[in-house]
């Protein structure tokens, strides 16, 4: 009985809003125990409350994933509560688009710190749990959130796109080492999803551009990405969906 997600232990970073929150709730609904990571504890508690109200199990850990020690400590708490994670949705990210000549160097750094260093911190902390699950014959999934920005040429997206290109290519290379160990490694590359992502943009022109794009078409919802992640984790163990692009139908 149950679904292919029953009994799995999922860690979701960036789970306090948007894609991460929707995915945490979906995975829990399908029977996984879910550990939610982000900085805003109140929002994480809300996600856990939703999961528990639906009969699921979840643990909120307020963690800034750019802090390596904090992520390492979170990984330890996961083992104490649930044994080991067998699904890591490495999803926390920030998109601060701006023209390069504006020299918004702090924004460049924030994107690099979170989208690259934060993502690597999560891999370092949880990879031993994934390889152990796989070595015991169990499931193991590392799913990194990239973006269609990884491959597209979009004005003002240079640093963000650079971080996402890093994630997409990193993931291809990780497969070479981890696939033979039966750890599935994948990227999901969403198009436009209605989340809090544009709210952090500091360049007013870029901010307007993003708001217009979202208004003009029927964009994706976090739940659409959640469904895709759940599917990637639910296929048989010998099947690795490696790179999935999800676009709103009307987005070109």
Q: Which is nearer to ligand NDP, 132 or 243 (CB)?
A: 243
Q: Which is nearer to ligand NDP, 133 or 147 (CB)?
A: 147
Taking the complex as a whole, the smallest distance from the CB of residue 61 to ligand NDP amounts, in Å, to 10
Taking the complex as a whole, the smallest distance from the CB of residue 24 to ligand NDP amounts, in Å, to 10
Q: Which is nearer to ligand NDP, 110 or 237 (CB)?
A: 110
- The residues binding ligand NDP (CB under 6 A) are 13-20, 38-40, 43, 64-66, 91-95, 114, 118, 145, 147, 190, 192-193, 195-197
End-to-end CA distance of the chain: 41
- The two tokens of residue 199 are 């709210």
Distance, in Å, from the CA atom of 80 to the CA atom of 26, rounded to the nearest integer, reads: 23
Distance, in Å, from the CA atom of 192 to the CA atom of 189, rounded to the nearest integer, reads: 10
Q: What is the DSSP string of 230-250?
A: HHHHHS-TT----EEEE--TT
Q: What interhelical angle do 119-135 and 68-82 show, nearest 10?
A: 30
Q: Which is nearer to ligand NDP, 78 or 134 (CB)?
A: 78
Q: Is 195 helix (H, G, I), strand (E, B) or coil?
A: coil
Tell me whether residue 171 is exposed, middle or buried, using C-beta atoms within 10 angstroms of its C-beta: 0 to 12, 13 to 18, 19 or more. buried
Taking the complex as a whole, the smallest distance from the CB of residue 230 to ligand NDP amounts, in Å, to 16
Distance, in Å, from the CA atom of 11 to the CA atom of 130, rounded to the nearest integer, reads: 11
* Own/partner pairs, 151-154, CB within 8 angstroms, 24+ separation: 151/189
Taking the complex as a whole, the smallest distance from the CB of residue 108 to ligand NDP amounts, in Å, to 15
- The two tokens of residue 173 are 């290379």
| CA–CA–CA angle 207, 209, 215 (5° rounding) | 105
Instruction: Please give the helix or strand (H or E) that residue 12 lies within, else none.
Output: strand 9-13
Catalytic residues: 160
Taking the complex as a whole, the smallest distance from the CB of residue 241 to ligand NDP amounts, in Å, to 17
Q: Which is nearer to ligand NDP, 129 or 195 (CB)?
A: 195
**How many residues can be counted in the chain?**
252
């Amino acid at each position: 009985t149950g679904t292919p997600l029953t009994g799995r232990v999922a860690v979701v970073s960036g789970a306090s809003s948007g894609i991460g929150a929707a995915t945490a709730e979906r995975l829990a609904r399908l029977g996984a125990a879910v550990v939610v990571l982000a900085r805003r504890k109140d929002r994480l508690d809300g996600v856990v409350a939703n999961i528990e109200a639906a009969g699921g199990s979840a643990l909120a850990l307020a963690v800034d994933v750019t802090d390596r020690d904090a992520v390492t400590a979170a990984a330890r708490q996961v083992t104490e509560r649930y044994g080991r994670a067998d699904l890591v949705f490495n999803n926390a990210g920030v998109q601060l688009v701006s023209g390069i000549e504006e020299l918004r160097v702090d924004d460049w750094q924030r994107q690099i710190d979170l989208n690259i260093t934060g993502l690597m911190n999560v891999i370092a902390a949880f990879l031993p749990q994934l390889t152990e699950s796989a070595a015991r014959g169990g499931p193991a999934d590392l799913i990194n959130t990239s973006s269609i920005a990884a491959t597209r040429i979009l004005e003002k997206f240079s640093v963000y796109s650079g971080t996402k290109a890093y994630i997409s290519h990193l993931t291809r290379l990780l497969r070479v080492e981890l696939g033979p160990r039966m750890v599935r490694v994948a990227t999901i590359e969403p198009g436009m999803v209605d989340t809090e992502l544009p709210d952090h943009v500091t360049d007013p022109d870029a901010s307007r551009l993003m708001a217009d794009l979202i208004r003009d078409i029927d964009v994706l919802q976090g739940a659409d990405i959640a469904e895709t992640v759940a599917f990637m984790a639910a296929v048989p163990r010998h099947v690795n969906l490696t790179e999935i692009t999800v676009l709103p139908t009307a987005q070109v």
